Chains A and B, each alone.
Chain A
Amino acid sequence: MLDKKTSDQIVADLTSHIKLSMGFKVWMAFLSVSLLVCLYAYFLQLRDGMIVTGLGDYVSWGMYLANFVFFVATSLIGMLISAVLSLLNQKWAAPLARIAEIIALAFAAVAGLVIIMDMGHPERLLNVFIHGRIQSPIVWDVTVVTIYVLISALFLYIPLLPDLKICSEKLTNIPPFARKIYTLLSLNWSGTTEQKNLIKKSTGALSIFIIPVALAIHTVTSWLFANTSRAGWDSTIFGPYFVIGAFVAGTAAVVVAMFVFRKAFNLEEYITDFHFDKIGKLLVLVSLLYLYFNINEYMVPAYKMKHADAFHIQTLFTGSYAPLFWATQILGLILPIILLILKPMRKPLPLLIISIFVILGAWFKRYIIVVPTMEHPFLPVQNVPINFKVYSPTLIEIGVTIAPMIMAVLIITILSKVIPVIPIHETLEHRNEQEK
């Protein structure tokens, strides 16, 4: 289909969304107002202290930590699509690489903020640098998340250089200062062989280096849990279990972003049903792997039923967390797998609906990993009020939890308004190769 289009038409198509449309302004206004409401909730938390949350002595990691794990998880998709699939020479994923990188950057950048929101005194973050011990997974987590944000930013920026040049040349309807910024950021790109080689070398190095870093960020995040002996966390497979779970959440997030960008930016010819079908298959693959890890993670302790584990597992399987647990497993994992095996379900709209369920499931799955364990300490809980024993998040807490979600969507929205979400340079090169 693209063969019939001239280069100029393709450039026009792929840059057409870089403008301040009415829809964008309304959407941004909506996001900003929602963010302000949520930030007010955070202000209340800062003013009155953590007492406004449902957190306490026993459940000190609640919704915020579940949210943090979800954000780190979703950000891993940048590595899977941009690095792993490109190293495996999966050409179909090339147009989706930038979307995946935008999601990775937005979610990784916000993940750190989620932790700060979990702290009563945000300035105490400095204690990690003043008193941090190199032996502590918390120090490793801060290190690798920071590195991942930097690498994701570079991984987004370096392949973008040719497109920034195109933007500065072809976008005539934008203010001159904006064009100047594009020119400045494009670093004198003129398409010389030397420049192309340097980009190739850089992205090659990044694709390889980002894989261990991405694995590290989520493995270290899982170690924050697995390096303790608490029931439900004391597991040797927590690293890979988290990583695969992350691919599920991230792939579903990419599907949603693909659908929205395709509709909003008229990219039907660039993000086709073929891409949805392919990424649907990828979602089945990672979901099946995740199902395998889930069976492992619950089967082994449930077979042995050691005292504390038994209590924990009974709460999940038949106790107070059973409705949430089974809803998450069935609606967020098992049904999506069954449905996505069928080809018609991998069409854009059904895939979008399934992906939304997968994302919701992914968020609540993290909640199930974090909270029930904290409610079951090894020592008996005696003579405390009921609200110490059972955790229920407050409205303010929910507001503070939603804030980073809005921030991530805000970052994605802004990035998608200033850079082409489909790589123009690569699309043109790909077409030229096909013509030959």
Chain B
Amino acid sequence: MTTNQKYNQFIAFLIFSFVINASLSSRNWKAPDDQKDKNSYIKFDASTAAQGEAIYNANCASCHGNPGKNNALKSLNPIPPDLSSTASQSLTDGELIYILNNGAGLMPSFKNSLGEEKEWMVISYLRGFNKNYIQELSKFDPAKSKLVKLVSSFDKASNSIIVNATADEKNGKIAIVGAEISVFVKRYFGNFQIEKALKTDASGLAKFSFPTDLPGNKNGDLEVLVKLYDENYGEVQVTKTYSIGVPTDKPGLNEDRAIWNTLVKAPLWIIGLYATGLISFLLLLAFLLNNLRGIFNSKV
């Protein structure tokens, strides 16, 4: 076998595996049974659909296209499905939000960028394309999330963030057990997750060991975002600033004089050259105008 043939075989293998992989990954998701029957706590109506449409256009339309318009991004493999199609609409609300939360194939997770409320609005918009759809509301009461008290603290000895989740129920303060807690540090763009999501223990606590090398601002401040998700209490998040980062004082690249900076921060040599050119021209102009005056005033 020549090298060339081997090479061709290798390429064919690569393409084959890619196709197999892509087609596998396209049905690589299966919502767990308890997720499948999940329903929205928001009542779908014209207002939620309108909000959902805006969210859809900003986040989903670039790949899925507009529902019913057959304008999905054809260069992706598999081609993102039209979400108004019978196949898509046959999925339950629980399955739809599962895909939104976890992603599928090439599709990323929208759990952290949109959050559950916005995800339901998108589903509300999509259900508008299905005349036979009848919404089943979740028994979850959004007012319950107002009862949640989420407190985080930093434990210096173990270098960890300790999250305490409680709820002020009528019968007194109780610990929220088994709720999913995620901890993030805010970056310039998006959030940086600390460890994996953890479940609260019997006393409503979750402990996240915190890295020691995260760069903070001049004082080492970091903004820590704690997020709780619980079947009963829904989604709650709090942010708090801790001085637990490495103090970092790097002046921005645009703080010095530079060619790419604003006019007031132009390099001195450019200002000098430009001004010299302009002043020379003005001097020449003055010289010429003076000469013309001399010609005009010259006596025979």
Q: Which residues of chain A have a CB within 8 Å of any CB of chain B?
A: 132-135, 140, 143, 147, 150-151, 154, 158, 161, 187-190, 192, 194-195, 198-199, 201-202, 205-206, 209, 213, 216, 382-383
Q: Smallest CB–CB gap between B196 and chain A, Å?
A: 35
* B189 within 8 Å of A (CB atoms): no
On whether the beta carbons of B285 and A134 are closer than 8 Å, the reply is: no
Q: Which residues of A contact B133 (CB under 8 A)?
A: none
Does B173 sit at the interface, judged by CB under 8 A?
no
The reply to whether B270 and A158 form a contact with Cβ atoms under 8 Å apart is no
| B98-115 contacts to A (CB < 8 Å) | none
- B259's contact among A135, A147, A154, A158, by CB below 8 Å, is which? A135
- The residue of chain B having its C-beta at the shortest distance from the C-beta of A210 within the complex is B284
Kindly report which residue of chain A lies nearest to residue B261, judged by CB atoms.
A135
A198 with B294: CB separation less than 8 A: yes
Residues of A within 8 A of B267 (CB): 135
Q: How far is the CA of A262 from the CA of B141 in the complex (A)?
A: 95
- Min Cβ gap B1→A in Å is 31
Closest-CB distance, A362 to chain B (whole angstroms): 28
Please give me the residue from chain A that is nearest to B300 by CB atom. A190
Contact present for A132 and B295 (CB under 8 Å): no
Of the candidates B263, B266, B284, B298, the one whose C-beta lies within 8 Å of that of A209 is B284
Task: Determine whether B242 belongs to the interface, using a CB cutoff of 8 Å to chain A.
Answer: no
User: Contact at B298–A206, with CB atoms within 8 Å?
Assistant: no
Check: B51 CB closer than 8 A to any chain A CB: no
Is B194 part of the binding interface, using a Cβ–Cβ cutoff of 8 Å? Answer: no
Would you call A195 and B288 a contact (CB within 8 A)?
Answer: no
Give the contacting residue for B295; candidates A147, A154, A189, A382; CB below 8 A. A189
Contacts of A190 in B (CB 8 A): 298, 300
- A216 contacts which chain B residues (CB < 8 A)? 277
Q: Report how far A213 CA is from B291 CA in the complex, Å.
A: 21
| B260 CB within 8 Å of chain A | yes
Excluding A135-B263, A199-B295, 18 further A-B contacts by CB distance (< 8 Å) are: A133-B263, A134-B263, A134-B270, A134-B271, A135-B259, A150-B285, A154-B288, A158-B288, A161-B295, A187-B292, A187-B296, A190-B300, A198-B291, A199-B291, A209-B280, A209-B281, A209-B284, A382-B75
Contacts of B260 in A (CB 8 A): 135
Residue of B270, B288, B295, B297 near A206 (CB, 8 A) is B288
Name the residue of chain B whose CB is nearest to the CB of A150. B285
Q: Which residues of B contact A383 (CB under 8 A)?
A: 73-75
Are B278 and A195 neighbours in the complex by a CB distance under 8 Å? Answer: no
Contact among B263, B278, B280, B294 with A194 in the assembled complex (CB-CB below 8 Å)? B294
Complexed CA–CA distance, A201 and B271 (Å): 30
In the complex, whether B262 has a CB less than 8 A from a CB of chain A is yes
Does B287 lie within 8 Å of A205, measured CB to CB? yes
Nearest CB in chain A to that of B267: its residue: A135
Whole-angstrom CA separation of A383 from B65 in the bound complex: 12
Q: Give Cα A213–Cα B280 distance, bound, in whole angstroms.
A: 11
Q: Which residues of B approach A to under 8 Å, CB–CB?
A: 73-75, 259-263, 266-267, 270-271, 274, 277-278, 280-281, 284-285, 287-288, 291-292, 294-300
Q: Which of B261, B278, B280, B292 has the most CB of A within 10 A?
A: B292
B66 shortest CB reach to chain A, Å: 15
Query: B65: shortest Cβ distance to chain A, in Å?
Result: 11
A24 to B87, CA, bound (A): 77
Q: List 26 A-B contacts (CB under 8 A).
A: A132-B263, A134-B263, A134-B266, A134-B270, A135-B259, A135-B266, A147-B281, A151-B284, A161-B295, A188-B296, A192-B298, A194-B294, A198-B291, A198-B294, A198-B295, A198-B298, A199-B291, A202-B287, A202-B292, A205-B284, A205-B287, A209-B281, A213-B281, A382-B75, A383-B73, A383-B75
Contact B295 A188 (CB under 8 A): yes
Q: Tell me whether A140 and B75 are in contact (CB under 8 A).
A: no
- Nearest CB of B to A398, in Å: 33
Residues of B within 8 A of A199 (CB): 291, 295
Among A188, A194, A201, A202, the most chain B Cβ lie within 10 Å of the Cβ of A202
Question: In whole angstroms, how far apart are the Cα atoms of A355 and B280 in the complex?
Answer: 36
Q: Known A135-B259, A190-B300; judge A205-B274 contact (CB<8 A).
A: no
CA distance A214 to B262 in the complex (A): 28
A135:B288 contact, CB within 8 angstroms: no
Q: How far is the CB of B64 from chain A (nearest CB, A)?
A: 14
Contact B291 A133 (CB under 8 A): no
User: Whole-angstrom distance between the alpha carbons of A147 and B285 in the complex?
Assistant: 10
For the complex of A and B, list the 5 residue pairs with the smallest distance between their C-beta atoms, beginning with the closest: A187-B296, A198-B291, A202-B291, A133-B263, A194-B298
Cβ distance A259 to chain B, nearest Cβ, rounded Å = 33
* Known A-B contacts A134-B271, A135-B266, A383-B73; A195 and B292 likewise in contact (beta carbons under 8 Å): no
Q: How far is the CA of A161 from the CA of B293 in the complex (A)?
A: 13
CB distance from A136 to the nearest CB of B (A): 9
A contact residues around B296 at 8 Å (CB): 187-188
Complex-state Cα separation, A161 to B287, whole angstroms: 17
| A132 partner residues in chain B, CB cutoff 8 A | 263
Distance, CA A187 to CA B295, complexed state (A)? 7
Complex: A154 Cα to B289 Cα, angstroms: 10
B278 nearest in chain A by CB position: A143
B288-A205 in contact (CB<8A): yes
Selected from A140, A201, A202, A213, the residue in CB contact (under 8 A) with B274 is A140
How long is the Cα–Cα vector from A147 to B288 in the complex, in angstroms? 14
Chain A residues with CB under 8 A of B263 = 132-135
Which residues of B have CB within 8 Å of A133? 262-263, 266
CB of B70 to closest CB in A, whole Å: 14
Given contacts A147-B281, A382-B75, A383-B74, contact A134 B295 (CB under 8 A): no
Nearest Cβ on chain A to B277's Cβ, whole angstroms? 8
Instruction: Give Cα distance in the complex from A158 to B274, angstroms.
Output: 27
